[in-house]
Amino acid sequence: MRAAVLREHGEPLDVTDVPEPELDSDGVVVDVEACGICRSDWHAWMGHGEWADDAVEPGQILGHEPAGRVVAVGERVETIREGDRVALPFNLACGSCGYCRIGHGNVCTGDHPHALGFEQTAQGAFAEQVHLPSAEYNAIRLPDGVASRDVAALGCRFMTAYNALDARAGLRAGEWVAVHGCGGVGLSAIQVANALGARVVAVDVRESALDVAAELGADELVDASAEDPVAAIRGVTDGGADVSVDALGVAETCRNSVRCVRPRGTHVQVGLTTDAERGEVSLPTDWMTRHEVSFVGARGMPPTSASDLLSLLESDAVDPGSLVTKTVSLDEVPERLAAMTDYDTVGVEVMTM
């Protein structure tokens, strides 16, 4: 089959023939119909993450936001059949460790691949086929009539945004959310916040991104290239956001996000840092202590929460398809990944087969 393979960090992915995935007894093989292209792919491609022992090795097939049709089923899998349509979560779980058993499969500690498309034992979906291990726990069954392209646009960004705002920050209707960075995950957070009944301040330095944020329902826009975003957010929210998300992962957006919350507010870190921060950002800890500010992390979403997110999708409360600004072929993936280096992408781009 054809796939886009990482040969060397920062060098164009190699679209080439590779062996088809091998089927585990508890896994399924899926014909990829669509797969989102994500900033996490870009981080992996650039070789970021070594500071967290998380760098992706050459030989990796990237692509962690796929949806498609099951074409082969392992002998121990009982609830999934050939022909079923599924989405694959990027945060793979073993299904049997202590965290998986209580519904937190996104922080699974089992002896098992944990990140689809980022580990050699979990090759990704910029390919004609992809393998999903522990499929009964991990597979997200798709309702009829939901397009693979839209589900691929859900990607890790909607899953992460939903988990971040709902489960991690405990966002409630009527509260103010600040979203720093209106790329894929930031725009997803805006839609999720709206669906949860919150009010949104969107922050970016790009007018084009703020335009999209406004279309998706952001109540207030802050151009951080023109004004101090912390002061601006405190102004429009009358004292600070209840919840703030750093959807980018650079030191400045992280600190701005922490500083813009009201007393007892919550900052959620979603963006992973670049090689400028190497995973370390200094924070105003005395101020955070004084105002009882919470700092929480969010990574993906437990696969067991997928039905909540899919019901938002089915009720049209969120519309990930509206974030898709471009669909590309497998051959175009290397170039679109490279375009992210200069932040030359807006919204979500999806590979379709």
Figure out which of the listed residues 94, 135, 190, 301 binds Zn ion, where binding follows CB under 5 A: 94
Binding mask 310-329 for Zn ion (x = CB under 5 A): --------------------
Nearest residue to Zn ion by CB is 38
Map the chain to HEC letters. CEEEECCCCCCCCEEEECCCCCCCCCCEEEEEEEEEECHHHHHHHHCCCHHHCCCCCCCCECCCCEEEEEEEECCCCCCCCCCCEEECCCECCCCCCHHHHCCCHHHCCCCCCCECCCECCECCCCECEEEECCHHHHCEECCCCCCHHHHHHHHHHHHHHHHHHHHHCCCCCCCEEEEECCCHHHHHHHHHHHHCCCEEEEEECCHHHHHHHHHCCCCEEEECCCCCHHHHHHHHCCCCEEEEEECCCCHHHHHHHHHCEEEEEEEEECCCCCCCCCCCCCCCHHHHHHCCCEEEECCCCCHHHHHHHHHHHHCCCCCHHHHEEEEECHHHHHHHHHHHHHCCCCCEEEEEC
CB of 131 or CB of 262, closer to Zn ion? 131
- 110 lines the binding site for Zn ion (CB under 5 A): yes
Figure out which of the listed residues 97, 107, 147, 339 binds Zn ion, where binding follows CB under 5 A: 97
Cα–Cα distance, 312 to 102 (Å, whole number): 23
CB of 293 to Zn ion, least distance (A): 27
Figure out which of the listed residues 4, 32, 38, 159 binds Zn ion, where binding follows CB under 5 A: 38
- 108 lines the binding site for Zn ion (CB under 5 A): yes
CB of 70 or CB of 108, closer to Zn ion? 108
- 73 lines the binding site for Zn ion (CB under 5 A): no
CB of 100 or CB of 151, closer to Zn ion? 100
Residues 341/42, Cβ–Cβ less than 8 Å: yes
For Zn ion, which stretch binds (CB under 5 A), given 67-75, 101-109, 221-229, 307-315?
A: 101-109
CB of 249 to Zn ion, least distance (A): 13
Residues 300/168, Cβ–Cβ less than 8 Å: no
CB of 108 or CB of 198, closer to Zn ion? 108
- 40 lines the binding site for Zn ion (CB under 5 A): yes
- 156 lines the binding site for Zn ion (CB under 5 A): yes
- 107 lines the binding site for Zn ion (CB under 5 A): no
Count of residues touching Zn ion (by CB under 5 A):
9
CB of 246 to Zn ion, least distance (A): 16
CB of 95 to Zn ion, least distance (A): 6
CB of 77 to Zn ion, least distance (A): 17
CB of 125 or CB of 200, closer to Zn ion? 125
Figure out which of the listed residues 62, 92, 100, 258 binds Zn ion, where binding follows CB under 5 A: 100
Residues of the shown chain interacting with Zn ion in the complex, contacts defined by CB under 5 A: 38, 40, 93-94, 97, 100, 108, 110, 156
